[in-house]
Amino acid sequence: MAKRVGGFRRKTRSKLRKNVAEKGKLSIGRYLQQFNEGEMVYLNAEPAVQKGMYFPRFHAKAGTILKKQGACYHVAIKDGKKQKTFIIHPVHLKRV
């Protein structure tokens, strides 16, 4: 069996990079934002926070909030013909 080279953030240098204007401390409002069930969101990774981050292939996709679990949310995303569910921290989500 082949051994995998690299990890979770492999080949994401430009994808998980902030603009110069966005660098610095996180806003607490983005970290603690609330969503309702059925609300549409974009997956917008915050590179400074690894907890609750999704796989980088799904960066900039749109999804729907299904439910809340602890501090995170279940988000349903269409990947081709399949429906996938992720548990994502709200700092990585942005309202549509």
CATH assignment of the domain containing 91: 2.30.30.70
Q: Does 45 map to a domain?
A: yes
Q: Does 10 map to a domain?
A: no
Q: Are 28 and 63 in contact (CB under 8 A)?
A: no
Query: Which pLDDT value is given to residue 4?
Result: 84
Query: Could you give the number of structural domains in the chain?
Result: 1
Alpha-carbon distances of 83 from 14, 75, 76, 86, 90, rounded to whole Å: 27, 10, 7, 10, 20
Q: Are 9 and 16 in contact (CB under 8 A)?
A: yes
Query: Which pLDDT value is given to residue 63?
Result: 97
Q: Residue 52: left if φ>0, alpha if ψ -120 to 50, beta else—which one?
A: left
> pLDDT tens string for the chain (96 positions)?
888 888 888 999 998 899 899 898 888 999 999 999 999 999 999 999 999 999 999 999 999 999 999 999 999 999 999 999 999 999 999 999
Dig out the tokens for 75 from the structure: 């988000």
The residue range of the domain holding 58 is 28-95
